[in-house]
Amino acid sequence: MNPIAFDNSYARLPERFYARQAPEPVAAPGPIRVNEELATALGIDLDWLKSAAGTEAVAGNATPPGADPIATVYAGHQFGGFNPQLGDGRAVLLGEIIARDGHRFDLQLKGSGPTPWSRGGDGRSPLGPVLREYLLSETMYRLGVPTTRALAAVTTGDVVARERFLPGAVLARVASSHIRIGTFQYYAARKDVEALQLLADHVIERHYPDARAGENPVLALLEGVVSRQASLIAQWQLLGFIHGVMNTDNMLICGETIDYGPCAFMDAFNPDQVYSSIDHGGRYAYRSQPGIAHWNLSCLAQALLPILDDDPERAVALAQKAIDAFPGQFLDANAQGMARKLGLEAIGEQDAALVEDLWQLMAEHGLDFTLAFRRLADLVHERDEPSLNVSALFEFPDALQPWLERWRARLDQDAQPAAARQALMDRANPVFIPRNHLVEEAIAAATDEKDLGVFHRLMEVLASPHAYRPDLAVFATPPQPEQVVRQTFCGT
Ligand code: AMP
Ligand code: MG
């Protein structure tokens, strides 16, 4: 039996969807980490993946039987400007796997060498961005946020030239699919209506099977993407996650978070926060994310126009109506999540000021995003074990007392027992997030000292982001002023 049971549906699409492209071998593959739980869920032979043969396969030195490696083509709006010709420039899709639960997943190698779409780049990835993506994407998964995942990572034994020479690495990434808004834009820009329809059929089959039965499957597909993205972006906002490069080639049709390049979780709350070193205008600041997602979805709607309806005017009307649903859906998802974070059964119009005032105060006092919400969970009920409070790490300033009084009065209007409320709040308010300074520390140890221990330790802490342990306090502590990371960088 093959170690991975591939079934490659995208590679069966016409040849203008991709280029056949094997990964480029590397000098000396070495293991970094294997995601045993994910490998098992995918029915991958775990012993093989952990063996030297598995490491060789992830590094791209040996193509596992049944794989049909391709680099896919797409387009995209990058920082608002349309680029009609992009594609996997440093990644290959090895193939697809049907998981034990019946779902189909892409298995992609990122950092696997040049492709026809490398645009002069080396097709490689330094170790740092691979570790960052591993940490961030797996934590997002633990936090219940739809996301691409990390199956395994390896070092290459080669150096990668960036601002300095860095060790190279490859990430084996898993996604429901890597089909992007930009994939549709590519064919729309070429007026290739046949390809648009083929792609829509493929995506409906794979991600929106319920759309098939309806009167207008393409419209149902668009509505489905709008609603998944509304829910996704709400989850980002509720965790203080800043994506950093919300270009249309970095938004997936399946609704999973992708591209953990210059992203970060916020420490002190600042709605204007930007981390990406290339985002000079603040286009992708925290507060702008919902609006940008809405804009990106309008790009998708635009691309779908030729297959939405034969009558162009009717197509525009249908598209408009579908994307107009985004703000309301986002606000609903956001309000439901905020209710969970604040310990309320629901948030109604009468609560708008309470919520708005909290954000205002958090910004004004630069409160730590994660610990402020977690501290609220402490306050609703005396914990059996007082050391499980985060009070040693965070206390609300006096200026918040009047707000806390209002919040307590509002809690009294709900019937929920305090212990149950606290348990729900703990689930909505993680205590461990991959703070930027911790991620950078793990990357520096791996890059400069060849020490992967810091990375592995952080992975273990982040595996249970909601369960506080006082012995792990250092991982929940905001950065000291000298530890604050002000910028994160694309992995390019
Ligand atoms: P990203 O900013 O990661 O979304 O990448 C944008 C585009 O640039 C994608 O098409 C990537 O495949 C491509 N790209 C990024 N880094 C490299 C690289 N080192 N070599 C070749 N292509 C790259
Ligand atoms: Mg990308």
- Report the mean per-residue pLDDT for the chain: 97
90, 180, 183: residue to mutate for ligand 1 pocket, most atoms within 8 A of CB: 90
- Positions marked catalytic: 249
Note whether 359 and 271 are within 8 A (CB): yes
Q: Looking at residue 492, what is its pLDDT?
A: 53
* Residue 342 pLDDT > 90: yes
Look up residue 70 and give its amino acid.
I
* Residue 392 pLDDT > 90: yes
Please indicate whether residue 259, judged by its CB atom, sits closer than 6 Å to ligand 1: yes
Calculate mean pLDDT across residues 250-259.
Answer: 98
Q: How many angstroms does the Cα of residue 250 sit away from the middle of ligand 2?
A: 5
| Token pair of 248 as six digits | 């249309």
Calculate mean pLDDT across residues 238-256.
Answer: 98
Please indicate whether residue 261, judged by its CB atom, sits closer than 6 Å to ligand 1: yes
* Residue 21 pLDDT > 90: yes
Note whether 207 and 165 are within 8 A (CB): no
% of the chain residues with pLDDT over 90:
96
Report which protein residue has its CA nearest ligand 1's atom 23: 89
Paired residues of 268 in beta bridges: 368
Calculate mean pLDDT across residues 136-146.
Answer: 98
3-state secondary structure 39-52: HHHCCCCHHHHHCH
Distance (Å, rounded) from C-alpha 402 to C-alpha 235? 28
Please indicate whether residue 90, judged by its CB atom, sits closer than 6 Å to ligand 1: yes
Pairing of strands 18-20, 125-126: unpaired
Q: How many angstroms does the Cα of residue 358 sit away from the middle of ligand 2?
A: 34
Pairing of strands 165-175, 149-161: antiparallel
Q: How many angstroms does the Cα of residue 119 sit away from the middle of ligand 1?
A: 8
* Residue 215 pLDDT > 60: yes
Report which protein residue has its CA nearest ligand 1's atom 8: 89
Which among 27, 300, 10 is positioned nearest to 157, based on CA atoms?
Answer: 27
Q: Looking at residue 5, what is its pLDDT?
A: 96
Which among 293, 300, 359 is positioned nearest to 327, based on CA atoms?
Answer: 293
246, 249, 492: residue to mutate for ligand 1 pocket, most atoms within 8 A of CB: 492
Please indicate whether residue 122, judged by its CB atom, sits closer than 6 Å to ligand 1: yes
* Residue 490 pLDDT > 70: no
Distance (Å, rounded) from C-alpha 462 to C-alpha 114? 33
Residue by residue, DSSP assigns 152-211 as EEEEEEEEEESSSEEEEEEEEEEES---BHHHHHHHHHTT-HHHHHHHHHHHHHHH-GGG
Calculate mean pLDDT across residues 379-402.
Answer: 97
Over residues 83-107, the pLDDT tens digits come to: 999 999 999 999 999 999 999 999 9
Note whether 6 and 57 are within 8 A (CB): no
Confidence label for 491 from pLDDT (cuts 50, 70 and 90) = low
Calculate mean pLDDT across residues 205-227.
Answer: 97
Calculate mean pLDDT across residues 65-75.
Answer: 98
Report which protein residue has its CA nearest ligand 1's atom 11: 89
For the chain, the residue count is 492
Calculate mean pLDDT across residues 353-376.
Answer: 98
Calculate mean pLDDT across residues 328-354.
Answer: 97
Residue by residue, DSSP assigns 107-164 as EEEES----TT-TT----EEHHHHHHHHHHHHHHHHTT--B-EEEEEEEEEEEEESSS
* Residue 469 pLDDT > 70: yes
Distance (Å, rounded) from C-alpha 72 to C-alpha 89? 9
Which atom of ligand 1 lies nearest, measured to the CA of 89? 12
Q: Looking at residue 276, what is its pLDDT?
A: 85
- Cα angle, residue 459 at apex, residues 456 and 464 outer, rounded to 5°: 145
This prediction's pTM? 0.98
Calculate mean pLDDT across residues 35-53.
Answer: 98
Calculate mean pLDDT across residues 50-73.
Answer: 98
Look up residue 449 and give its amino acid.
E
- Lowest average pLDDT, out of 93-97, 278-282, 369-373, 422-426, goes to 278-282
Which atom of ligand 1 lies nearest, measured to the CA of 88? 12
% of the chain residues with pLDDT over 70:
99
Classify burial at 363, counting beta carbons within 10 Å of its beta carbon; exposed 0-12, middle 13-18, buried 19 or more.
middle
Q: Looking at residue 280, what is its pLDDT?
A: 84
